[in-house]
Amino acid sequence: MKTEFKTWVIAVDGYSSTGKSTVAKLIAARLGLTYIDTGAMYRVVTLEALRRGLIVEGQVDRAGLQSCLKDIRIGFKYNTALERYETYLNGEYVEDQIRGMEVSEQVSVIAAIDFVRIFLVEQQRAMGRKESVIMDGRDIGSVVFPDADVKFFMTASEKIRAERRYRELIEKGETVSFEEVEANIRKRDYIDSHRAVSPLKQPEDAIVVDNSNMTVEEEIEFMLRKIEEIRQKSTEN
Ligand code: DC
């Protein structure tokens, strides 16, 4: 049975490769909420910047990027056959390209740029105001929706996260070494947590989920229980 929500926002933040999107998608399906992958939005902007040659040796042509933002339209469509949300850039399917190593290598640099964040946060807020959503990212509970109804903060040991990500990339046919993946995760964590604008940090009122030793099912059960507790409390008030 699906739970009835007024417009609700559930924020799922945390480190790279903690399985945020896996659990957020499953919870969205269980509760009938719309799932929004905000990391995909930063990835789309990165892909466009790479295509336009605006990132050279890690250096971004900021003026060039700023002027091209107005031409970027990000879309999500649910693929019923594959049962997943897929990402589009100006109507073009880019789901596979935004998950590759080339985009992953550069995305933290793009996500640290203030005007990129302003551009995307505005769109995220508009999506959350329209309907009930579960949104995953790094700053959803801290910046995008500080008043989110439920805030989760996901974490897991670095080694476990690297193993998960490595398996995912190998299954997709990418040629990468475990060491490369581990180094990428470490570098992204560092940049995400140390950037000047909206750094990744655990909101004080977030529910921490350390899934190093949890199965996905255990995690989902735990999170659904927490959501239900908060929902019941909110209806009592
Ligand atoms: O969740 P992900 O790995 O797809 O995110 C890609 C990058 O975007 C990652 O380096 C962190 C950044 N990001 C962010 O800064 N804020 C968000 N709300 C989502 C992602």
Percent of the residues in the chain that have a pLDDT greater than 90, as a whole number:
79
Residue 2 burial class via C-beta count within 10 angstroms: exposed 0-12, middle 13-18, buried 19 and up: exposed
Give the fold, CATH level 3, of 9-228: Rossmann fold (3.40.50)
Give, to the nearest 10 degrees, the angle between helix 178-194 and helix 158-171.
120
Higher pLDDT, 236 or 220: 220
Distance CA(66)–CA(195), nearest Å, equals 19
The residue whose C-alpha atom lies closest to atom 20 belonging to ligand 1 is 39
Whether the predicted pLDDT of 4 surpasses 90: no
Does the C-beta of 13 come closer than 6 Å to ligand 1?
no
Mean pLDDT of the chain: 93
**Pairing assessment for the beta strands 84-89 and 133-137 based on DSSP bridges:** unpaired
Q: Residues 136-180: pLDDT tens digits? A: 999 999 999 999 999 999 999 999 999 999 998 899 888 999 999
Residue in this structure with the two tokens 């329209």, named with its chain if needed: 130
Q: Which DSSP symbol is given to 4?
A: P
In this prediction, residue 81 carries a pLDDT of 92
What is the CA(146)–ligand 1 centre distance, in A? Answer: 17
Whether the predicted pLDDT of 49 surpasses 50: yes
Buried/exposed code over 153-179 (b: 16+ C-beta within 10 A; e: otherwise): bbbbebeebbbbbbeebeeeeeebeee
Residue 78 burial class via C-beta count within 10 angstroms: exposed 0-12, middle 13-18, buried 19 and up: exposed
Does the C-beta of 135 come closer than 6 Å to ligand 1?
no
Evaluate whether 121 touches 144 at the Cβ level (below 8 Å): yes
Domain extent listing, the chain: 9-228
